[in-house]
Structure 1
């Protein structure tokens, strides 16, 4: 482990979103048994928090049509925290029946992306969440909030901080104390992250914020650095860099879990993960989707991984 950077937290909790956000846009259906094998490999690597699936319409996201079967394989694991994305009351009922630890309610900070993503206005989404909150209260299932396009919208450009604050406050008023800021289109910058985190922490004391970055423009880990400098301890990532919102133009993958874990460990921050096993899990993910994934550590290995001098040619001349 590297020397801890001043101001960084001692430990960070990584939530693996590959099984949901990572796989949701894959055109070819990944067999349920293969999804389960991937999740098991991530558990073997030390990860304990997962956004494991989503209870959405199979017509909208065909890849998630086996949500109940995937949950059934892990619902008895008392050492893992399993969440699922739910867009509406029907999805919430299915998620509760499947035994999730928490339901993630999501809406976009921008009106246009929310209409593309869930075919509703932001106001309609928030009104529906009140019904889900009442259902959750009766079931004992926890609620978490996620704000998509929190740092920018592909259709509108900049998203106002006031829109993010209003949505976070609406979530808090529904009883959510864990809220994720989602950089759905990779429009976050370190400066924006610092400004948003500071404003939200001041406005909503007692709420725990998580950060979810896509590496669309190559600054995902720089944005994570900015979050760490503000004391944020929860981050979401996807094994191998899988993913990309299917309702966004030019979408690319999430920050790779193994890249994030490497960066954190080399910055002196404990993650509870085994990097070698994360690299194995990334290779499995790459095999399942049948193409090269963008994760870098899975290709290069840790910085102190050495090679024999005979493995490369010697320059002539």
Structure 2
């Protein structure tokens, strides 16, 4: 395999933890249903490639995300893996389902904007936060790690640009209710590096530790890696990505694929930043998954390296 020349840049983290979202965020937007056995194999191959945090599934009602209706069947098939397997829970019922299967990491998903809160959760921002409070409290009481996803941190398809103070306010609410970690989502991919720096600066100036922050960029306008680099410069060490660049958002039609994990690993390797990921195995995994889905991988790195091997 061709690998990038390693040329470290000053001021960047020595290691980045990749929060792999392919099995959940990547597959939830598929038109067809992926067989449970294929999903389980996908998770296992990702773990074998060295990813240590793999978001396995979602305990949302099947009516809303039918592609992940098999959460109860899937989780036991991968629960023995020696990796963190966070799952999405929308409410207390979802938490009950996850805890019953032994999940030790859960995530709730809020919105920085009223329009998306209505589209995604059929609630106002405040109503959604009120719904999550008992979920977070019960999860913490059970010794479970809680991640808070925040969508539309940079732009909203209905409201346009989202003011930084508006995002910071919802971030603070999620942290105050007990979330261990926040994932700042650029759901429709409109962020640029200056905007990323502005939000991270405001959050840290308001007292949010950078260690509690992760970033989740979509590559709609080709800015995901540039935005990730800006976050690294600010000290962020948790980056969400999706193997093969799979995914989007079923409630925001302008949202295209997530940042591809392979593209992220290629950049980080070139910068001398450790991820623990075997790029060969990861590319092979995404190429295999693309075959299961019946279409080429959107990841530029997967396409480039797969072509070289032919």
Tell me, yes or no, if the aligned pair for 1:169 and 1:204 is still in contact at 8 Å.
no
In the alignment, the residues of structure 1 paired with residue 96 and residue 274 of structure 2 have an alpha-carbon distance, to the nearest angstrom, of: 36
- 1:11 corresponds to 2:18: no
- 1:58 corresponds to 2:51: no
User: What whole-Å deviation, never above 9, does each CA across 1:276-308 have from its counterpart, x for those lacking one?
Assistant: 111001101211211122101111129xx978x
Task: Please point out which of 288, 309, 313 is paired with 2:292.
Answer: 288
Task: Please point out which of 142, 145, 156 is paired with 2:145.
Answer: 142
- The corresponding residue for 2:74 is 70
Structure 1 consecutive aligned stretches of length 4 or more whose deviation exceeds 3 Å: none
In the alignment, the residues of structure 2 paired with residue 194 and residue 38 of structure 1 have an alpha-carbon distance, to the nearest angstrom, of: 34
Structure 2: stretches of 5+ with no match in the other structure: none
- 1:35 corresponds to 2:39: yes
Tell me, yes or no, if the aligned pair for 1:55 and 1:94 is still in contact at 8 Å.
yes
The SS at the match of 1:82 is: coil
Tell me, yes or no, if the aligned pair for 2:112 and 2:167 is still in contact at 8 Å.
yes
In the alignment, the residues of structure 2 paired with residue 214 and residue 202 of structure 1 have an alpha-carbon distance, to the nearest angstrom, of: 26
In the alignment, the residues of structure 2 paired with residue 17 and residue 227 of structure 1 have an alpha-carbon distance, to the nearest angstrom, of: 18
The SS at the match of 1:210 is: strand
- 1:220 corresponds to 2:224: yes
User: What whole-Å deviation, never above 9, does each CA across 1:179-235 have from its counterpart, x for those lacking one?
Assistant: 110111101111111111111122134351000011011111011111111111000
Q: Once the 2 structures are TM-superposed, how far is the Cα of residue 134 of structure 1 from its aligned partner? A: 2.7
18-27 or 127-136, which moves further after superposition?
Answer: 127-136
Tell me, yes or no, if the aligned pair for 2:137 and 2:178 is still in contact at 8 Å.
no
- The corresponding residue for 2:87 is 84
- The corresponding residue for 2:129 is 126
User: What whole-Å deviation, never above 9, does each CA across 1:84-114 have from its counterpart, x for those lacking one?
Assistant: 1111111111111122221111111011011
Tell me, yes or no, if the aligned pair for 2:248 and 2:255 is still in contact at 8 Å.
yes
Structure 1: stretches of 5+ with no match in the other structure: 312-317
Write the mapping of 1:165-180 to structure 2, written as runs, cut at 5 A.
165-180=168-183
User: What whole-Å deviation, never above 9, does each CA across 1:29-49 have from its counterpart, x for those lacking one?
Assistant: 100000001111111110010
In the alignment, the residues of structure 1 paired with residue 177 and residue 85 of structure 2 have an alpha-carbon distance, to the nearest angstrom, of: 21
The SS at the match of 1:15 is: strand
Count residues with an aligned counterpart: 305
User: What whole-Å deviation, never above 9, does each CA across 1:55-103 have from its counterpart, x for those lacking one?
Assistant: 00101000111112221122233x3111111111111111111222211
Tell me, yes or no, if the aligned pair for 1:83 and 1:100 is still in contact at 8 Å.
yes
The SS at the match of 1:81 is: coil
TM value normalised by structure 2: 0.94
TM value normalised by structure 1: 0.92
Write the mapping of 1:294-309 to structure 2, written as runs, cut at 5 A.
294-301=298-305
Task: Please point out which of 230, 236, 250 is paired with 1:232.
Answer: 236
Larger C-alpha radius of gyration, 1 or 2?
1
- The corresponding residue for 1:159 is 162
Please report the RMSD computed on the Cα atoms of aligned residues, expressed in angstroms.
1.6
Tell me, yes or no, if the aligned pair for 2:17 and 2:239 is still in contact at 8 Å.
yes
- 1:253 corresponds to 2:240: no
The SS at the match of 2:86 is: strand
- The corresponding residue for 1:195 is 198
